Amino acid sequence: MTQPLIESGDVTPFSGNSATPAGSYPAHNSGDLLVQFIHIDDDITAAGLIAPSAGPNSETLDISSTGSGGSGTSGPTNGIISWIASTNTGAGSLAWSLTASRAFVGHTAVVPSGEHAGVGTLSGYAGASGNVTNLPTPSWPIGAGEGGGTVLIGLSLDTDTISTTDPTGYTQIDNTTLGINISAIVAVRDAATTASETIASVNFTALSGPDSTSSIGIVVLGPSVGNWDQDGFRFGKDDGSESAHTWHAGQNVNVTLPAATPSILRIQASSSGDQPTQQMKLQCKKTSDPDSAYADVPVAP
Protein backbone atom coordinates (compact mmCIF):
# COMPACT_ATOMS: atom_id res chain seq x y z
CA MET A 1 0.00 0.00 0.00
CA THR A 2 0.96 3.66 -0.44
CA GLN A 3 0.75 5.67 2.79
CA PRO A 4 -1.75 8.56 2.49
CA LEU A 5 -0.10 11.97 2.87
CA ILE A 6 -2.13 14.44 4.96
CA GLU A 7 -0.67 17.94 5.24
CA SER A 8 -1.74 21.37 6.50
CA GLY A 9 -3.30 22.30 3.15
CA ASP A 10 -5.57 19.26 3.45
CA VAL A 11 -7.18 20.41 6.72
CA THR A 12 -9.88 23.04 7.28
CA PRO A 13 -10.26 24.30 10.89
CA PHE A 14 -13.50 25.73 12.26
CA SER A 15 -14.66 27.13 15.60
CA GLY A 16 -17.46 29.07 17.27
CA ASN A 17 -20.03 29.08 20.06
CA SER A 18 -23.46 27.62 19.30
CA ALA A 19 -25.98 24.90 20.10
CA THR A 20 -25.79 23.91 16.42
CA PRO A 21 -22.08 23.92 15.55
CA ALA A 22 -21.30 24.21 11.85
CA GLY A 23 -18.66 21.68 10.86
CA SER A 24 -17.02 23.39 7.88
CA TYR A 25 -15.57 21.43 4.96
CA PRO A 26 -13.69 22.72 1.89
CA ALA A 27 -14.56 22.22 -1.77
CA HIS A 28 -13.76 18.64 -2.74
CA ASN A 29 -14.16 16.14 -5.56
CA SER A 30 -16.01 12.90 -6.08
CA GLY A 31 -14.18 10.02 -4.42
CA ASP A 32 -12.38 12.19 -1.87
CA LEU A 33 -12.35 10.98 1.73
CA LEU A 34 -13.38 13.52 4.37
CA VAL A 35 -12.79 13.04 8.11
CA GLN A 36 -14.32 15.64 10.45
CA PHE A 37 -13.44 16.04 14.14
CA ILE A 38 -15.33 18.30 16.55
CA HIS A 39 -14.44 19.16 20.16
CA ILE A 40 -16.93 20.69 22.60
CA ASP A 41 -16.28 22.76 25.72
CA ASP A 42 -17.23 21.40 29.16
CA ASP A 43 -20.66 20.43 30.55
CA ILE A 44 -21.78 18.58 27.40
CA THR A 45 -21.79 14.79 27.70
CA ALA A 46 -21.39 12.42 24.77
CA ALA A 47 -25.18 11.95 24.71
CA GLY A 48 -25.58 15.72 24.38
CA LEU A 49 -23.51 15.85 21.17
CA ILE A 50 -25.43 14.64 18.12
CA ALA A 51 -23.59 14.07 14.84
CA PRO A 52 -24.93 14.84 11.37
CA SER A 53 -26.82 11.90 9.87
CA ALA A 54 -25.12 11.96 6.45
CA GLY A 55 -22.59 13.77 4.27
CA PRO A 56 -23.49 16.94 2.34
CA ASN A 57 -24.89 14.93 -0.60
CA SER A 58 -26.59 12.34 1.62
CA GLU A 59 -23.48 10.16 1.60
CA THR A 60 -23.47 7.32 4.12
CA LEU A 61 -21.17 8.04 7.05
CA ASP A 62 -18.45 5.39 7.33
CA ILE A 63 -17.66 6.53 10.87
CA SER A 64 -19.94 8.37 13.33
CA SER A 65 -19.04 8.51 17.00
CA THR A 66 -19.19 10.83 20.01
CA GLY A 67 -17.54 10.41 23.38
CA SER A 68 -15.00 11.74 25.84
CA GLY A 69 -11.82 10.63 27.52
CA GLY A 70 -12.29 13.38 30.09
CA SER A 71 -15.05 13.68 32.67
CA GLY A 72 -18.68 14.28 31.88
CA THR A 73 -18.67 17.70 33.50
CA SER A 74 -15.12 18.89 32.87
CA GLY A 75 -15.06 17.82 29.23
CA PRO A 76 -14.12 18.14 26.57
CA THR A 77 -16.42 15.97 24.45
CA ASN A 78 -15.32 14.79 21.00
CA GLY A 79 -17.09 13.71 17.84
CA ILE A 80 -15.85 12.21 14.57
CA ILE A 81 -17.53 11.41 11.26
CA SER A 82 -16.18 10.38 7.87
CA TRP A 83 -17.58 9.93 4.38
CA ILE A 84 -16.48 9.50 0.77
CA ALA A 85 -17.81 12.21 -1.54
CA SER A 86 -20.31 11.03 -4.13
CA THR A 87 -19.92 14.09 -6.36
CA ASN A 88 -17.86 17.26 -6.76
CA THR A 89 -18.97 19.59 -3.95
CA GLY A 90 -18.37 23.24 -3.06
CA ALA A 91 -17.32 24.43 0.37
CA GLY A 92 -20.02 24.24 3.04
CA SER A 93 -20.78 22.86 6.49
CA LEU A 94 -22.61 20.07 8.29
CA ALA A 95 -24.80 20.79 11.33
CA TRP A 96 -23.96 19.13 14.62
CA SER A 97 -26.35 19.51 17.57
CA LEU A 98 -25.80 20.21 21.27
CA THR A 99 -28.14 20.29 24.25
CA ALA A 100 -26.91 23.84 24.99
CA SER A 101 -24.72 26.50 23.39
CA ARG A 102 -21.03 25.82 23.95
CA ALA A 103 -17.68 26.76 22.47
CA PHE A 104 -16.38 24.32 19.87
CA VAL A 105 -13.31 23.75 17.72
CA GLY A 106 -12.98 21.25 14.89
CA HIS A 107 -11.12 20.18 11.77
CA THR A 108 -12.02 18.54 8.46
CA ALA A 109 -9.29 16.60 6.67
CA VAL A 110 -9.60 15.76 2.97
CA VAL A 111 -7.71 12.90 1.33
CA PRO A 112 -8.00 12.99 -2.48
CA SER A 113 -9.51 10.17 -4.48
CA GLY A 114 -6.87 7.64 -5.46
CA GLU A 115 -4.78 8.38 -2.37
CA HIS A 116 -6.89 6.40 0.10
CA ALA A 117 -8.91 3.23 0.52
CA GLY A 118 -11.33 4.62 3.12
CA VAL A 119 -10.92 4.41 6.88
CA GLY A 120 -9.93 1.55 9.14
CA THR A 121 -10.40 0.85 12.82
CA LEU A 122 -11.62 3.69 15.05
CA SER A 123 -9.97 4.01 18.45
CA GLY A 124 -11.71 4.45 21.75
CA TYR A 125 -11.59 7.81 23.52
CA ALA A 126 -8.51 8.66 25.57
CA GLY A 127 -7.89 11.52 27.94
CA ALA A 128 -7.61 12.66 31.53
CA SER A 129 -9.67 14.79 33.91
CA GLY A 130 -8.58 17.58 36.19
CA ASN A 131 -5.37 19.56 35.98
CA VAL A 132 -3.25 17.50 33.60
CA THR A 133 -0.14 18.48 31.66
CA ASN A 134 0.27 15.33 29.54
CA LEU A 135 -2.40 14.98 26.86
CA PRO A 136 -2.60 11.30 25.84
CA THR A 137 -3.69 9.90 22.50
CA PRO A 138 -5.53 6.58 22.30
CA SER A 139 -3.90 3.17 22.09
CA TRP A 140 -5.79 0.64 19.99
CA PRO A 141 -5.26 -2.50 17.86
CA ILE A 142 -5.79 -2.35 14.10
CA GLY A 143 -6.65 -5.05 11.59
CA ALA A 144 -4.53 -7.31 9.40
CA GLY A 145 -5.52 -5.33 6.31
CA GLU A 146 -4.58 -1.91 7.73
CA GLY A 147 -0.85 -1.85 7.03
CA GLY A 148 0.49 1.11 5.08
CA GLY A 149 -2.09 3.55 6.49
CA THR A 150 -1.83 6.89 8.27
CA VAL A 151 -2.81 7.39 11.92
CA LEU A 152 -4.94 10.55 12.23
CA ILE A 153 -5.58 12.01 15.70
CA GLY A 154 -8.00 14.66 16.94
CA LEU A 155 -7.16 15.94 20.45
CA SER A 156 -8.63 18.75 22.56
CA LEU A 157 -7.91 20.54 25.84
CA ASP A 158 -10.49 22.37 27.92
CA THR A 159 -9.80 26.02 28.79
CA ASP A 160 -6.12 26.06 27.90
CA THR A 161 -3.60 25.93 25.04
CA ILE A 162 -1.82 22.93 23.49
CA SER A 163 1.91 23.20 22.87
CA THR A 164 3.07 23.12 19.24
CA THR A 165 5.97 20.86 20.26
CA ASP A 166 5.18 17.36 19.03
CA PRO A 167 5.99 14.02 20.63
CA THR A 168 8.54 11.98 18.69
CA GLY A 169 7.06 10.43 15.57
CA TYR A 170 4.02 12.72 15.30
CA THR A 171 3.34 15.95 13.42
CA GLN A 172 0.62 18.49 14.16
CA ILE A 173 -1.23 19.60 11.03
CA ASP A 174 -3.25 22.35 12.75
CA ASN A 175 -3.50 23.82 16.24
CA THR A 176 -6.55 26.05 16.89
CA THR A 177 -7.51 27.81 20.13
CA LEU A 178 -10.87 29.50 20.77
CA GLY A 179 -10.09 32.17 23.37
CA ILE A 180 -9.86 30.65 26.84
CA ASN A 181 -12.58 28.09 26.12
CA ILE A 182 -11.08 25.16 24.23
CA SER A 183 -8.08 24.19 22.09
CA ALA A 184 -7.78 21.37 19.57
CA ILE A 185 -5.19 19.88 17.26
CA VAL A 186 -5.24 17.40 14.42
CA ALA A 187 -2.05 15.36 14.04
CA VAL A 188 -0.64 12.43 12.08
CA ARG A 189 1.84 9.72 12.94
CA ASP A 190 4.82 9.98 10.61
CA ALA A 191 5.36 6.24 10.21
CA ALA A 192 2.93 4.14 8.21
CA THR A 193 0.92 1.55 10.08
CA THR A 194 1.92 -2.11 10.04
CA ALA A 195 -0.64 -4.88 9.77
CA SER A 196 -2.30 -5.91 13.06
CA GLU A 197 -0.18 -3.57 15.18
CA THR A 198 -1.37 -1.88 18.34
CA ILE A 199 -1.14 1.88 17.93
CA ALA A 200 0.79 3.17 20.94
CA SER A 201 -0.38 6.13 23.00
CA VAL A 202 1.79 9.25 23.03
CA ASN A 203 1.53 12.47 25.00
CA PHE A 204 1.10 15.95 23.60
CA THR A 205 1.60 18.75 26.13
CA ALA A 206 -0.49 21.51 27.67
CA LEU A 207 1.28 24.84 27.19
CA SER A 208 -0.13 26.59 30.25
CA GLY A 209 -2.83 26.25 32.90
CA PRO A 210 -3.48 22.52 32.29
CA ASP A 211 -7.02 21.18 32.39
CA SER A 212 -9.05 18.15 31.17
CA THR A 213 -8.28 16.58 27.79
CA SER A 214 -9.80 14.08 25.37
CA SER A 215 -8.74 12.51 22.05
CA ILE A 216 -9.86 10.09 19.33
CA GLY A 217 -8.00 8.41 16.46
CA ILE A 218 -8.60 6.70 13.14
CA VAL A 219 -6.51 4.96 10.49
CA VAL A 220 -6.76 6.34 6.95
CA LEU A 221 -6.09 3.37 4.70
CA GLY A 222 -3.67 3.60 1.80
CA PRO A 223 -4.60 2.54 -1.74
CA SER A 224 -3.41 -0.87 -2.86
CA VAL A 225 -0.51 -0.97 -5.29
CA GLY A 226 -1.63 -3.15 -8.18
CA ASN A 227 0.12 -5.96 -10.01
CA TRP A 228 0.29 -6.57 -13.71
CA ASP A 229 -2.01 -9.32 -14.97
CA GLN A 230 -1.66 -10.87 -18.42
CA ASP A 231 -5.11 -10.92 -19.99
CA GLY A 232 -4.21 -12.38 -23.38
CA PHE A 233 -1.73 -12.88 -26.20
CA ARG A 234 -1.81 -13.40 -29.97
CA PHE A 235 0.80 -14.30 -32.61
CA GLY A 236 0.68 -12.18 -35.76
CA LYS A 237 2.34 -12.38 -39.17
CA ASP A 238 4.86 -9.76 -40.20
CA ASP A 239 3.00 -9.13 -43.47
CA GLY A 240 1.57 -5.64 -43.17
CA SER A 241 1.29 -2.49 -41.11
CA GLU A 242 0.72 -2.45 -37.36
CA SER A 243 -3.04 -2.27 -37.86
CA ALA A 244 -3.39 -4.31 -41.07
CA HIS A 245 -1.21 -7.40 -40.63
CA THR A 246 -2.81 -10.86 -40.42
CA TRP A 247 -2.57 -13.52 -37.71
CA HIS A 248 -1.09 -16.97 -37.30
CA ALA A 249 -3.89 -18.02 -34.92
CA GLY A 250 -6.61 -16.71 -32.63
CA GLN A 251 -6.13 -15.05 -29.27
CA ASN A 252 -4.49 -17.17 -26.55
CA VAL A 253 -3.59 -19.92 -29.06
CA ASN A 254 -0.01 -21.23 -29.08
CA VAL A 255 1.65 -21.65 -32.49
CA THR A 256 4.56 -23.69 -33.87
CA LEU A 257 6.68 -21.85 -36.46
CA PRO A 258 9.96 -22.52 -38.27
CA ALA A 259 12.98 -20.97 -36.61
CA ALA A 260 13.77 -17.37 -37.60
CA THR A 261 10.24 -16.74 -38.89
CA PRO A 262 9.56 -12.99 -38.47
CA SER A 263 6.45 -12.70 -36.31
CA ILE A 264 4.60 -10.28 -34.09
CA LEU A 265 3.60 -11.08 -30.52
CA ARG A 266 0.92 -8.90 -28.96
CA ILE A 267 0.27 -9.12 -25.22
CA GLN A 268 -2.61 -7.49 -23.33
CA ALA A 269 -1.96 -6.63 -19.68
CA SER A 270 -3.99 -4.83 -17.05
CA SER A 271 -3.72 -3.82 -13.40
CA SER A 272 -6.02 -2.94 -10.53
CA GLY A 273 -5.43 -0.32 -7.84
CA ASP A 274 -2.55 2.08 -8.33
CA GLN A 275 -0.40 1.55 -11.40
CA PRO A 276 2.26 -1.06 -10.54
CA THR A 277 5.75 0.23 -9.98
CA GLN A 278 7.48 -2.75 -11.54
CA GLN A 279 8.40 -2.65 -15.23
CA MET A 280 7.09 -5.32 -17.59
CA LYS A 281 9.52 -7.50 -19.54
CA LEU A 282 9.31 -10.43 -21.96
CA GLN A 283 11.23 -13.65 -21.38
CA CYS A 284 11.69 -16.75 -23.54
CA LYS A 285 13.23 -20.24 -23.55
CA LYS A 286 13.22 -23.38 -25.66
CA THR A 287 10.31 -25.66 -24.88
CA SER A 288 12.79 -28.41 -24.03
CA ASP A 289 14.61 -26.24 -21.47
CA PRO A 290 13.70 -25.99 -17.76
CA ASP A 291 11.99 -22.91 -16.37
CA SER A 292 15.32 -21.78 -14.97
CA ALA A 293 16.47 -21.15 -18.55
CA TYR A 294 14.08 -18.22 -19.14
CA ALA A 295 16.05 -15.18 -20.37
CA ASP A 296 15.03 -11.58 -21.00
CA VAL A 297 14.23 -10.62 -24.58
CA PRO A 298 16.41 -7.59 -25.44
CA VAL A 299 14.59 -4.29 -25.94
CA ALA A 300 15.46 -2.63 -29.25
CA PRO A 301 17.12 0.81 -28.82
221-257 pLDDT tens trace: 998 766 677 888 899 998 888 888 999 999 999 988 8
Q: What is the mean pLDDT of residues 145-170?
A: 94
Q: What is the mean pLDDT of residues 197-216?
A: 89
Inform me whether the pLDDT recorded for 2 exceeds 70: yes
Winning range, highest mean pLDDT, from 47-51, 85-89, 209-213? 85-89
User: Can you tell me the distance from the alpha carbon of 23 to that of 49, in angstroms, rounded to the nearest whole number?
Assistant: 13
Which three-class secondary structure string do you get for 25-62?
ECCECCCCEEEEEEEECCCCCHHHEECCCCCCCCCCCC
User: Can you tell me the distance from the alpha carbon of 120 to that of 145, in angstroms, rounded to the nearest whole number?
Assistant: 9
Winning range, highest mean pLDDT, from 19-33, 65-79, 233-247? 19-33
Task: Give the pLDDT score at 278.
Answer: 65
Q: Going by C-beta distance under 8 Å and a sequence separation of 6 or more, which residues neighbour residue 188?
A: 6, 150, 151, 152, 153, 170, 171, 173
Compute CA 78 distance to the chain's CA centroid, rounded to the nearest angstrom: 20
Q: What is the CB-side half-sphere exposure of residue 74 using CA atoms within 13 A?
A: 16
**Residues in a beta bridge with 182:** 158, 178
Task: Give the pLDDT score at 210.
Answer: 63
Where in the chain are the domains? Answer: 8-220, 229-283
